[in-house]
């Protein structure tokens, strides 16, 4: 059967031959054996729902074996034989071009060059899943291939509930992931529900089909590292020969070393999984691989002496690096961590003094001992970080729940008031006041043709639009504008494309709308093919995350999630092609609510109206919330927007003199 026939078939008519799990695959961590005997039976019963009764005897034993071996039922037998990657949009069988665009993005998320654990349908973050199993993938692709522009596909944590009648103006797909009752949103609840096949962790852009490989994180990381050095260094001093020490090349991508190279420093990134480190090196995201800490010390000292711009992946544990650099008195200028600490006990963080393989065995065979080892390691890491910061190192939490998990481990991470953390989140210090409050966030697009010339043309269009906006932009956002113009002009040279022909930059509502309209005009004029718009959930409006995206909200509302919920609802009736809302993306199950969208630009007037309406709300919803929290930059931004947009009326805060409050109680 050809590609089209396999897509249209959905669940096969004949039982496929059983597949052998690939020996060299970068497999996901084996999950906890958390289900009772009755729950295991229920998990099998749930899985068999997808298949005819005549297959149940064979598949029940097979799925039971998968549950024993992996802690999940992935249904490997049903993985399709065709290659999975982002094809030209015209190659997808579809009655709806919008649906074809979604098929393209799903396949990009599952492309082995892009996905972290493609066999298990996991895109990044150790557990950021597109679907729970291969049956869901087959059914979703079949639904998308056969649906019309007057139907909407509803996905419940990867499961296609079905096609419902709607309208041309409605989203083609509505996605929810992990949206459980709040009192059942602890890590073990996720383990149990995921093992039962009833809920999944969609991360941010994994379960919303908008991941574009490490590039998607590189831009924000570059902005963060550049501004971290700006905070640390004297004016006009450059980062050459200065050290950025961090960890994590697997679950959260290879963004950090590439960003460090663009920022112009020495980046040292520890990664315990050799396969992950080697993959990033082969893909060009890191310059040098070192697996001996003595060699690392020597190479670092050489780089400092020569003022090199270089990125080094150390195959080993980050705790060893922090401790050894302290002993050698190697000064670390900027420090952070980007291991997958949203899942610290299931492969997101590996403890010092245990090998990668030893840890994986312990996760499955003795999870309580593994937890002790993880927490001991976090305490050691924090102790060493504290020694470095006393010497002048600038350390920040990179939104991976490092400070949160370290505090839960009893590490010396709390401030003197024993309420706040000793170190800031990067959103508190950098992205919040400098970007999000002004409306700047990660706008991204994918060229649906898959052609390099289309990507080149969109880069050129975006740079021109930003340059025109900057000419009349206020002083408050000149730095953001210039950083993004520099970024987009150098984007191709930095070779960041993996998978789909995609690009990302930070823009505010004005920038996003004008760039999108210019793309739509170019499509209408046959200069480029269709373009798919989206963004990271890590943005101005899409995410309520008290330890990351909304960590610079100080009015007591940072633990509320109204903004993210309003965002997904508001986008859905303003023109989004698909919308998503998730529990847990980025910092862990139960810690955040986050949402995203996708939008197809096809050159029509309808697309132009949709992009203007939806992109405006998608950004300004968040600025309005941030201004109500009394953030000065957001108050400036929303007042400026109201001056430009007469129909926008936002409730502004009346500021209170602090001395009025001093003697009230």
Pick out the residues of the known binding site for NAD(+). Answer: 125-126, 203, 271, 398, 586
Residue with tokens 């109680």: 665
Helical spans, DSSP H, in 130-243:
134-146, 187-196, 215-232
Report how far Cα 566 is from the mean position of its chain's Cα atoms. 20
Residue with tokens 């610290």: 344
CA distances from 433 to 14, 66, 118, 541, 631 (A): 57, 47, 37, 14, 8
**Rounded distance between C-alpha atoms, residue 130 and residue 634, angstroms:** 34
Taking CB atoms within 8 Å and a gap of at least 24, the contacts of 44-52 are 44/73, 46/196, 46/197, 46/198, 47/73, 47/75, 47/133, 47/135, 47/197, 50/11, 50/75, 50/133, 50/135, 50/136, 50/139, 51/11, 51/135
Is residue 131 within 8 A of residue 84, CB to CB? The reply is no
In degrees, to the nearest 5, what angle opens at C-alpha 254 toward C-alphas 252 and 256? 95
Q: Among 462, 346, 463, 329, which Cα is nearest to 405's? A: 346
Q: List phi, psi (to 5°) of 128.
A: -80, 100
Q: Among 592, 650, 641, which Cα is nearest to 615's? A: 641
Q: Which residues contact 355 (CB under 8 A, 6 or more apart)?
A: none
Which pairing describes strands 173-177 and 151-156: parallel, antiparallel, or unpaired? parallel
DSSP one-letter string for 562-610? HHHHHHHHHHHTTT-SEEEEEESTTT-TTS-EEEEEEEEE-S-HHHHHH
Q: Which residues define the annotated binding site?
A: 125-126, 203, 271, 398, 586
Within 13 Å and on the Cβ side, how many CA atoms surround 201? Answer: 30
322 burial (CB, 10 Å; 0-12 / 13-18 / 19+) is buried
In degrees, to the nearest 5, what angle opens at C-alpha 417 toward C-alphas 382 and 386? 20
**Rounded distance between C-alpha atoms, residue 246 and residue 395, angstroms:** 10
> Which run of H or E residues covers position 447?
strand 441-447
């Amino acid at each position: 059967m050809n590609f089209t026939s396999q897509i249209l078939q959905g669940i096969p008519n004949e039982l496929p031959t059983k597949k052998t799990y690939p020996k060299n695959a970068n497999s996901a961590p084996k999950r906890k054996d958390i289900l009772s005997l009755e729950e295991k039976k229920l998990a099998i019963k749930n899985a068999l729902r997808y298949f005819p009764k005549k297959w149940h005897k064979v598949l029940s034993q097979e799925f039971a074996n998968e549950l024993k071996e992996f802690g999940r039922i992935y249904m490997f037998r049903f993985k399709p034989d065709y290659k999975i990657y982002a094809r030209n949009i015209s190659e997808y069988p579809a009655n709806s071009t919008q649906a074809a665009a979604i098929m393209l993005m799903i396949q990009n998320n599952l492309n082995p060059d892009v996905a972290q654990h493609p066999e298990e349908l996991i895109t990044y973050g150790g557990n950021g899943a597109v679907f729970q199993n291969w049956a869901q993938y087959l059914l979703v692709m079949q639904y998308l291939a056969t649906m019309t522009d007057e139907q909407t596909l509803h996905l419940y944590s990867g499961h296609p509930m079905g096609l419902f009648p709607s309208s041309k103006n409605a989203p083609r797909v509505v996605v929810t992931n992990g949206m459980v009752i709040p009192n059942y949103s602890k890590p073990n609840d996720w383990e149990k529900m995921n093992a039962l096949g009833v809920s999944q962790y969609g991360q941010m852009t994994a379960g919303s089909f908008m991941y574009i490989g490490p590039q998607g994180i590189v831009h924000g990381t570059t902005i963060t590292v550049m501004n971290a050095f700006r905070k640390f260094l004297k004016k006009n001093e450059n980062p050459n020969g200065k050290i950025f020490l961090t960890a994590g090349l697997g679950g959260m991508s290879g963004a950090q070393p590439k960003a460090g190279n663009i920022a112009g420093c020495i980046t040292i990134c520890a990664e315990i999984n050799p396969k992950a480190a080697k993959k990033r090196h082969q893909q060009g995201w890191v310059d040098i691989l070192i697996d001996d800490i003595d060699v690392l010390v020597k190479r670092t000292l050489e780089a400092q002496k020569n003022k090199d711009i270089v990125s080094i992946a150390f195959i080993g544990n980050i705790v060893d690096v922090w401790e050894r650099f302290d002993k050698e008195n190697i000064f670390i200028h900027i420090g952070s961590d980007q291991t997958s600490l949203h899942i610290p006990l299931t492969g997101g963080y590996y403890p010092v003094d245990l090998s990668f393989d030893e840890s994986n065995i312990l996760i499955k065979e003795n999870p309580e001992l593994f937890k002790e080892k993880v927490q001991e390691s976090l305490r050691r890491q924090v102790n060493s970080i504290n020694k470095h910061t006393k010497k002048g190192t600038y350390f920040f939490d990179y939104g991976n729940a490092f400070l949160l998990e370290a505090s839960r481990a009893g590490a010396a991470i709390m401030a003197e008031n024993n309420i706040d953390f000793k170190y800031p989140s990067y959103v508190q210090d950098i992205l919040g006041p400098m970007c999000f409050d002004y409306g700047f966030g990660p706008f991204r697009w994918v060229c649906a043709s898959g052609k390099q010339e289309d990507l080149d043309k969109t880069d050129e269009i975006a740079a021109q639009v930003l340059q025109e906006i900057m000419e009349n932009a206020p002083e408050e956002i000149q730095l953001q504008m210039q950083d993004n113009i520099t970024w987009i002009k150098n984007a191709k040279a930095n070779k960041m494309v993996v998978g789909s022909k995609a690009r990302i930059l930070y823009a505010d509502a004005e920038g996003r709308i004008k760039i999108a309209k210019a793309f739509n005009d170019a499509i209408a004029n046959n200069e480029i093919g269709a373009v798919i718009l989206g963004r990271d959930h890590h943005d101005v409006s899409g995410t309520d995350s008290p330890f990351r995206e909304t960590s610079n909200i100080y009015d007591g509302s940072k633990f509320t999630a109204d903004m993210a919920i309003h965002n997904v609802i508001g986008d859905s009736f303003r023109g989004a092609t698909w919308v998503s809302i998730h529990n847990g993306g980025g910092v862990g199950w139960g810690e955040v609510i986050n949402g995203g969208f996708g939008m197809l630009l096809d050159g029509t007037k309808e697309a132009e109206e949709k992009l203007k309406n939806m992109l405006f709300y998608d950004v300004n919803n968040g600025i309005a919330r941030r201004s109500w929290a009394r953030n000065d930059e957001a108050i400036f931004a929303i007042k400026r927007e109201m001056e430009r947009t007469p129909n926008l009326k936002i409730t502004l805060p009346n500021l209170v003199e602090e001395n009025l409050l001093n003697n009230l109680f």
